[in-house]
Amino acid sequence: MEMRVTKSKNLLARWAVAAAMTICAAAAVPVHAQEAFGVAGPPAGLWPMVQALPLSKTHGVGIGAVPAMVLERLDNGQLIAQADGAAQSGKVRQVGVARPITLDSAMGVWADSPDGGRVWMMEIASPGAVGMRVHFTQVALPEGAELTAYNVVDSSDIAGPYTGQGGVDRDDVYTPVIFGDRVRIELYMPAGAPVGQLPFDADNIQHLFRNPLDSLTGGGNTGAGAVGEPDITPTVGNCHNDVTCYPTWANPAKAVGLYIFSSGGGTGQCTGQLIATTAQDLTPYFITAAHCVNTTTEAASVQVFWLFQTASCNGTAPIRGDSPTTTGATMIATRSQSDETLLR
């Protein structure tokens, strides 16, 4: 995968964004950040780690049989071959495809909670998926209502809880990747709230046919249940070096993130970096390529993976759960002539 961020100083000047091209000292990631834009945070390990829980568990609802929408199995090997063929003439590595869906209250089941509220539950399965992202739309949750989506096998792999409109200045939201091929959606409605019609919809799920982090490790994984399908060909080139072997790059490396985004009916993968402003005001500006992200919709779907680094020179790559992520971004400006996009 190739990334170009070659003219960022001129770009930022044109956009009148007072930004210095000093790379920040660490990824500005809520909860997980150790340092951001040169300003030190608490020592490592002192950030409060708040683990979200399924709403059924939070509100004391027992889970029985949960209705499931089971989509047709896709051939991951074929999808990989098609994506790699298309990549020969492009610059964005494709890691997933969109699968249209629509939701209705009748597709799930309601259960009463001890506090007088109700919890609605249903599952979506995309057999063979390495991971799934749900695109919630028309999100208008009433006061006290919450929405989550999580891995049926491992409930610690959870997105949410979402409240209000769900997204940042939008009424839609992409969940971060939920690894696995089965997702359970739960909606909590407080006592007195109407439960006839769902206060949200979903227009698609992103079926990841390969793990976006595999290209960084040289590993391959075509997903759960994809027996007999070929491994992914590693995309790490011989010219790529393990940054852990170069201590002088330790701080700048923290500003670099790999990200995925939804565009044109699929999920793409690119990279970018945080940049600091001359005001040192901690605004998390992120610069990347316009050939990756160039619309507000694409920006809103961005999920960045931070600090995916080995613990020692040429050591074993971390497991996916070790890397903090940031989901969602706001488009600041984009310029196709210089192939640059600035996000926040």
Q: Residue 136's pLDDT is what?
A: 95
Closest listed residue to residue 152, CA positions, set 172, 109, 181: 181
Average pLDDT, the chain: 80
Nearest CA-CA partner of 181 in 123, 110, 107: 123
Burial per residue of 303-317, b for 16 or more beta-carbon CB atoms within 10 angstroms, e otherwise: bbbbbbbbeeeeeeb
Say if residue 220's pLDDT is above 50: no
**pLDDT average, residue stretch 237-258:** 88
Phi, psi of 150 (to 5 degrees): -150, 165
For 190, list phi and psi in degrees, rounded to 5. Answer: -70, 165
Q: pLDDT tens digits for 250-283?
A: 999 999 999 999 998 899 999 999 998 888 888 8
DSSP3 helix / strand / coil % (the chain, rounded to 5):
15, 30, 55
Closest by CA to 176, choosing from 48, 305, 291, 288, is 305
pLDDT for 217 equals 55
Main-chain dihedrals φ then ψ at residue 76, nearest 5 degrees: -60, -40
Q: What is the mean pLDDT of residues 189-194?
A: 92
Q: Which residues lie across from 341 on neighbouring strands?
A: 288, 334
Task: Please state, in angstroms and rounded to a whole number, the distance separating the CA atoms of residues 310 and 253.
Answer: 12
**pLDDT, average across residues 172-189:** 95
- Global pTM value: 0.80
Contact 191, 115 (CB under 8 A): yes
Helix (H) or strand (E) holding 110: strand 109-112
Question: Is residue 28 predicted with pLDDT exceeding 60?
Answer: no
Q: How many helices (H) and strands (E) does the chain have?
A: 6, 21
Quote the pLDDT of residue 18: 30
Query: Which pLDDT band, with edges at 50, 70 and 90, does 241 fall under?
Result: confident
At residue 158, φ and ψ (nearest 5 deg) are: -135, 145
Per-residue pLDDT at 31 exceeds 60: no
